[in-house]
Amino acid sequence: MLLAGALAVSLGACGGGAPTPACDAYGALRDAVAAMNTAQGDPATVATKVDEVDGLVRTARRRLAGAQADERIAPAVRAMQEAANYLEHMVGQFRTDGAVDFSLTRFASRELTRALAGAGGAPLSCRR
């Protein structure tokens, strides 16, 4: 849960920019990480959370497709795509064997933190 706290602190740094496809994707991925971190309990509860994560990742992927044209934020988009890859892997793992490797959320969180900082390109300025 320390990871969730670190993510919350980094998310508080979002600026006051207008909503963009990249910021919408970032928000969906942030919500997906939070949902995955709470995917605990009986199998039905976990399955519901995993379904929520799957939907959020699909939403983020659609938004990222719209953000790819902006070369300024291309590195941030790639970092968010990597975060989505980690989350998709977790969803697939759960659907295959019913287990969730929660250690992967830290890698998704790391990629979101990198994306927010620009990952070598322009930082994202997303309103919360």
> How confident is the model over 54-77, as pLDDT tens digits?
999 999 999 999 888 889 999 999
- Alpha-helical runs (H) found in 12-73: 21-37, 43-67
Give the span between the Cα atoms of 27 and 128, in whole angstroms.
8
Which pLDDT belongs to residue 123?
A: 93
* pLDDT confidence band for 53 (50 / 70 / 90): very high
Domains of the chain, by residue range, sit at 18-117
Give the span between the Cα atoms of 111 and 44, in whole angstroms.
29
Instruction: Say what the pTM is.
Output: 0.84
Burial class (CB within 10 angstroms; exposed 0-12, middle 13-18, buried 19+) of 91: buried
CA angle in degrees (0–180, nearest 5) for 105-92-28: 50
Give the span between the Cα atoms of 9 and 82, in whole angstroms.
21
CATH number (3.40.630, 3.40.50, 1.10.287, 1.20.120) of 18-117 reads: 1.20.120
pLDDT tens figures, 90-116: 999 999 999 999 999 999 999 999 999
> Per mean pLDDT, which range of 8-22, 51-65, 74-88, 104-118 is the poorest?
8-22
How many CB atoms sit inside 10 A of residue 2's CB?
Answer: 7
Percent of the chain with pLDDT over 90: 75
Overall average pLDDT of the 26-33 stretch: 97
Those residues with Cβ within 8 angstroms of residue 126's Cβ, 6 or more apart along the chain or in another chain: 14, 15, 17, 19, 20, 22, 23, 26, 27, 116
